[in-house]
Amino acid sequence: MSIQITQIENRPIGIFDSGVGGLTVVKEIFRVLPYEEIVYLGDTARVPYGTKSSESVKRFSIENFEFLLRFNVKMVIVACNTASSTSLPILRNRFKIPIVGVIKPGAERAAGLTKNGKIGVIGTATTVKSKAYEKEIKRICKTVKIVSKACPLFVPLAEEGLLNGKITFDIAKYYLNPLVRKRIDTLVLGCTHYPLLKKVISRVVGKDVKIIDSASSVAEEVANTLRSNKLLSSESRKPANSFFATDAVEQFVKVGKRFLGKKISKVKKAILS
């Protein structure tokens, strides 16, 4: 009998999202931290979170977190804007491992990039209602003006793969024209689904508006957090990662490819309770 003892820093990083959107964050983690092992959970049985109450999203987030803890994760990334905007305080209070959300990295980058001090933020209804980005950006820089807009049709468009074309362009114009009229020079994509629509969004807001997809900032924040907690993996081989979904694993494989930019070989069904 062989007993395998994993060194504390070589344990996996847990990541959860309401569905496949968080895979845009995983893609960046792969790039920045290629030797970190990932355990990903997509809560596809209850997706979307963006139209649910913050009370329910908090409950879902705790259940997702507890599932990831079964894998002895060393930290957790809340790779969902709606969950980050509503549940980070309750998660930090309850669980004592490092937690990185997606709001702060995006907010910091936006505050650092704007020149005219006018930032647009788009996200789900619940994210926009939470004012999480406004609060975070204002904390960093008080003089900035923020214009927010919920774009509920962007998630189904991205999930359906309608990433280009006239319908998507018209819907983007419908949501974004009010922000263009306010002359924003920076736009935060406050939902992990939105990077898939970046081309169309960019066409609507114009090429002078800087578009911030927080995935790469999140990966940097994760690297910093691991470093400061002495938790960076000491491995020098690419690890085997695990992907779980609470429902429809075949659909996860199919749609997930668009978000991750490569095929996911295996997705297992997660039972949370």
Residues annotated as catalytic (active site), given as ranges: 80, 191
CA distance 202 to 216: 18
In the complex, the smallest distance separating the C-beta of residue 245 from a copy of itself, rounded to whole angstroms, is 10
CA distance 189 to 1: 50
In the complex, the smallest distance separating the C-beta of residue 156 from a copy of itself, rounded to whole angstroms, is 5
In the complex, the smallest distance separating the C-beta of residue 83 from a copy of itself, rounded to whole angstroms, is 14
Given the complex with a copy of itself, which of 166 and 230 has the nearer CB atom?
166
Binding site for a copy of itself (CB under 8 A): 44-47, 51-53, 55-56, 152-153, 155-157, 159-160, 162, 166-167, 170-171, 174, 246-248, 251
Burial classification of residue 223, based on how many CB atoms lie within 10 Å of its CB (0-12 exposed, 13-18 middle, 19 or more buried): middle
CA distance 151 to 149: 6
Given the complex with a copy of itself, which of 49 and 133 has the nearer CB atom?
49
Given the complex with a copy of itself, which of 158 and 218 has the nearer CB atom?
158
CA distance 104 to 24: 17
CA distance 23 to 215: 9
In the complex, the smallest distance separating the C-beta of residue 272 from a copy of itself, rounded to whole angstroms, is 12
Given the complex with a copy of itself, which of 66 and 170 has the nearer CB atom?
170
Is it true that the peptide bond before 48 is cis, omega within 30 degrees of 0? Answer: yes
Contacts of 56 (CB under 8 A, 6+ apart): none
